[in-house]
Structure 1
Amino acid sequence: MSRHFNGNQFGGRGGERGRHRGRGDRGRGYQGGRKVDDASAPAPLLTPCKSFTLNGSCDRRGCKFAHCVTRLFCLDAASPKKQDNSNGGGYGHRRNYGGDKQFDPISCMAIWSEAPPAAVPPVPGAPPEQIKLFSGCHDGTWRLWDSAASFRKQFENEMGGRVGALVVSNNLLFCGFEKECPLLPGVKVGSIHAWNLQNAASPPQEFHAEDSAVHPYAHGRIVTSLLPVPDGAGGVAVVSSSEDGLIRVWRFDTGTGKFMVFRSLMGHARAVSGLAYSEGLLWSGSEDHSIRMWDMSKGSCGKVIAGGSEGHSGPVTSLLAWGSEKLGAFVFSSSLDGTIKAWDPAGKMLKMESHGDGVMTIVTTTDEAGNPLLVCGLERGNIMVRSLPGAGDLPALTLLIKLSDQYTCSHTNGPVRCVQAGAGPAGIFYSSGDDGKLMVWQFKGNLAQLSK
């Protein structure tokens, strides 16, 4: 497995500059209310054509820039800001990004791939499923967007507090959010609700860590991540993490008809910011700069990755499991220290790459030719795209594209909070940020070939 991050495919420990088409984006300046220096950031192999990125076409004969990505939609997906949440918790939330804060951040997204109704005849050439997108916002609302109607807003639901996590599994929508505790007036706690998407009119199920009369909430602080995992009994459990530093594993109890706490995992000293499941182990990342690997059957932490030559030197922001039967299993981590790291299932670091900016969020997807890619959302609103093993003959984690508001288009006024992919036409991915925008993108062509 590790051979895919060694030799020709490894391409060095990080910071590759390499060849690139068009101008690089490595200027210095001020953005987000603090001085930034992009000198340490690598140059991408491809420089996207701005006209093609914005319009899907370019009329310049002999254009020297790459026609490799198009922004299909840019939606105003948050309500105008009513109050200042700049001091809210969570990694990066306590930083002052400056700018004109007109909207609350869109913190999370989840994709719902819905089978069309049996009574509706199939449309020739149409995808076999209907793709819809949920977005969660710090304005206290989650919203549903319909891809079949140019991402028109189909529905919204007010939660009463910041939404921190969304995930869809087995036709259930799980939402982690913040709300005032009924037992403790003025105190906000972390809650989880679950809706049956096949019976949307029914009320959501509420998760309570203990007896709802004395503990009517899931966590002591806002929920930051939700992850469906195998429950060990042929079903699915849901893992939640929170700013309270706790991780909870929830199983559905057929006797009560509710999700109940199966295990609580304690060990992180700060907010838990990311979860991943790989090869039977649960991985968690935290603002305490560490990554922990858990045996959920025993409820024990088998390994802590912190500091030293392999651990992150800043808050861990995201974890992502990826792999295939041919390539093996990997876990990727991102951090405000500006790096992403690739790990094997035993927790050995295989490769690291730097970005010259804090990395807020990551997701895997493919281009139209099926080449696997890693999309990284950055702290200053930029998006970087890297190759994964199996993308032609490119070394793993080669930087292919940088999208920035300065030269092409991307998010402004702060971080990219979430990137998402996984269903629909090839090459599609989604991004959201502090600017209240939800963007729909599509890679065009074979990026491994275009980069040669």
Structure 2
Amino acid sequence: MDLHGGNRRVFNRLGGPSAAPTLDSSKNQKVCYNWRAGKCRRLPCPFLHRELPHPSGPTSATANGPDASKRFADDSGFSGPAPRRGPNFNNNHNSSWRRMGANKVVRKTEKVCDYWVQGNCNYGDRCKFLHSWSLGESFTLLNHLDGHQKVVTGIALPEGIDKLYTGSKDETVRAWDTNTGQCMGVLNLGGEVGCMISEGPWLFVSIPNVVKAWDTQTNQELSLSGPVGQVYAMVVGNDLLFAGTQDGTVLVWKFDNVTNSFEPAASLKGHTRAVVSLVVGANRLYSGSVDHSIKAWSLETLQCLQTLTEHTDVVMSLLCWEQFLLSCSLDQTINVWVATENGNLEVTYTHKEEHGLLNLRGMYDSESKPVLLCACNDSSVCLYDLPSFSNKGKIFAEQEIRAIEVGPGGLFFTGDGTGFRVWKWGEPVPKP
């Protein structure tokens, strides 16, 4: 991903007053072509890094002193010439303009500076690219924990313990101490982790052709057979464990208290391609698939009640919130569904994004307002107030964010190919 942007001609590439160009005999009296394109890397450069004075009308040097043009560039952070006067632009107005320029705040773009990522951006506050992994004032980054060698595909916090677990395509699960942020152990599974969830003390981890289950309080380990290929999504509802598989089947297990094991309960068929998203709500199971459809299943009878076909690409994630079902897809849309009088779901609102969508999570911010977290395939997470979908902030990463999880106390987590980050909603600002 190009984090630093393409051709721009807004910054003085020499980076500061000491490197500002001067009109002396050693400098070629031509404007640098690469500087105009915003990509000159020569230091020193034999050509001018500023525009030549306009041939007609007074220049800023004669109107406001010998170095006014240079001062404007240095003070404001911009490399263009001093503002040209109009018919009613007197000296007092020009002075006000220059004072405004000296205090001007550089407007940031929604791109992370790649030089800042590498630790060598020389522009500091004058850089128009972000020197931060987020935009927004309501939440803060607490920590970035690395260790995985490939993308994080699952984050889980089992109840009753002070550990967080992450699973990755590097075929490992890592346990983290939630108090210190230290990695407590690494488990090699011998297969890529497709997804991971927790329910009570149980941790469920999928690898090709099997689902692993651990009781984190007793250390009991179980292997649930039955999947063909990878399991991409799991969810628990009505005392049943559901798993969406690569062959388009939703497998169902029920926990047997007598044998202390999970027994196969059903196999739900209907999708023609892999099931990649599952959610439970309103006494129903919803499954999203690579076949572009969503199916609604009764949790009591396990029969398919409705098939939704409004998406035109893979249905990557599903979220039940109050009386609504939200779905996101690689077709760059989020659909909000609501039940009609006959019980069937219909789209009541569609939100469009510029990129394909990978994951949805919902939580409440520090003011107890509902917020939607939406991972996009441009390596970002958009945060929206609900139900308005007004922008609340944005999170960036070096690679696609494939896992989002919500924790207690206003915490939430995002996982990508570099590890996972811990975020927290800030305290509400008192109103005057």
Give TM class, smaller chain: 0.5 to 0.7
Classify 1:67/1:252 alpha carbon distance in 2 versus 1 (closer, same or farther; 3 Å): closer
| Corresponding residue for residue 400 of structure 1 | 392
Q: Is the 8 A contact 1:411 1:437 kept in 2?
A: no
1:287-314 CA deviation, whole Å, 9 max, x = no partner?
Answer: 11110101233332111111xxxx1111
**For residue 89 of structure 1, what is the aligned residue in structure 2?**
none
Residues 1:424 and 2:415 aligned together: no
Aligned mates of 1:219, 1:268 — CA distance in 2: 15
Distance in 2, matches of 1:292 and 1:142, equals 31
What's the counterpart of residue 140 of structure 2? Answer: 70
- 1:356–1:197 CA distance, 2 compared to 1 (3 A): same
Amino acid at match of 1:334: C
Q: Max radius of gyration: which structure?
A: 2
Question: What amino acid sits opposite 1:355 in the alignment?
Answer: E
Query: 1: distance between equivalents of 2:357 and 2:233?
Result: 17
Please point out which of 228, 240, 244 is paired with 1:220.
228
Q: What is the 5 A alignment of 1:370-389?
A: 370-389=368-387
Conserved 8 A contact 1:375-1:386: yes
1:255 shift after superposition: 4.4
Q: Return the alpha-carbon distance in structure 2 between the equivalents of residues 53 and 432 of structure 1.
A: 13
Asked whether the equivalents of residues 273 and 287 of structure 1 are also in contact (C-alpha less than 8 Å), the reply is yes
Aligned to 1:335: 329
Q: Distance in 2 between matches of 1:365 and 1:438?
A: 18
CA distance in 1, matches of 2:409, 2:260: 36
The residue that corresponds to 1:295 in the other structure is 298
- CA drift of 1:385 comes to 0.2
Matches within 5 A, 1:92-107: 104-107=150-153
- Out of 155, 160, 176, which is 1:109 matched to? 155
The answer to whether the Cα contact below 8 Å between 2:159 and 2:199 also exists between their aligned partners in 1 is no
- Say what the alpha-carbon RMSD is for the aligned residues: 2.6
- Identify the residue that residue 153 of structure 1 maps to in structure 2: 183
* Residues 24 and 359 of structure 1, relative CA distance in 2, 3 Å threshold: farther
Change beyond 3 A, Cα 1:66–1:225 = closer
Instruction: Report the secondary structure of 1:416's partner residue.
Output: coil
Deviations along 1:248-295, whole A, 9 cap, x unmatched? 111012444321111110011111010111111110000111101012
The answer to whether the 8 Å contact 1:53/1:70 transfers is: no
Partner SS for 2:296: strand
- Is the alpha carbon distance of 1:22 and 1:419 closer, same or farther for their aligned partners in structure 2, counting shifts above 3 Å? farther
Q: Which amino acid aligns with 1:75?
A: L
Structure 2 vs 1, CA of residues 50 and 444 (structure 1 numbering), >3 Å: closer, same or farther?
farther
Aligned equivalents of 1:24 and 1:350: distance in 2?
Answer: 35
TM-aligned CA deviation for residue 170 of structure 1: 2.3
Q: Secondary structure at the match of 1:441?
A: strand
| 1:80-119 CA distance string (max 9 Å, x none) | xxxxxxxxxxxxxxxxxxxxxxxx211111122426xxxx
8 Å contact 1:53–1:67 — kept in the other structure?
Answer: no
1:215-246 deviations in whole A, cap 9, x for unaligned? xxx2111111111101xxxxx21111111111
Q: Distance in 1 between matches of 2:194 and 2:140?
A: 28
Contact 1:367/1:445 (<8 A) preserved: no
Partner of 2:266: 263
Using the alignment, how far apart are the partners of 2:324 and 2:353 within structure 1? 20
Aligned residue pairs total: 307
- The one-letter amino acid paired with 1:402 is K
Task: Report the CA distance shift for 1:109/1:248 in structure 2 as closer, same or farther (over 3 A).
Answer: same
- The alignment partner of 1:376 has SS state of strand
Counterpart secondary structure, 1:77: coil
> Which secondary structure state, in structure 1, belongs to the residue aligned with residue 207 of structure 2?
strand
- TM-score with structure 2 setting the length: 0.66
Query: What SS is found at the alignment partner of 1:344?
Result: strand
> Contact (CA 8 Å) 2:158, 2:202: kept in 1 or not?
no
TM-score by length of 1: 0.63
Change (3 A) 1:371 1:146: same
Give the secondary-structure state (helix, strand or coil) at the position aligned to 1:135: strand
Q: CA deviation at 1:351?
A: 1.4
Q: Which runs of 5+ in 2 are unaligned?
A: 1-104, 112-128
The 1-side partners of 2:384 and 2:251 are apart by 32
**Amino acid of the residue matched to residue 270 of structure 1?**
R
- 2:360/2:375 contact within 8 Å kept: yes
Residues in 1 aligned to 2:260 and 2:315: alpha-carbon distance in whole angstroms:
35
Aligned to 1:43: none
Q: Which of 400, 403, 412 is the equivalent residue of 2:398?
A: 412
- Counterpart in 2 of 1:206? 223
Q: Report % sequence identity.
A: 25
1:125 maps to: none
Deviations, residues 364-406 of structure 1 (Å, cap 9, x unaligned): 11221111101011101111001124xxxxx2x2222123xxx
Structure 1 residue ranges without an equivalent (≥5): 1-20, 28-48, 55-64, 80-103, 116-129, 179-189, 209-217, 231-235, 324-328, 390-394, 404-409
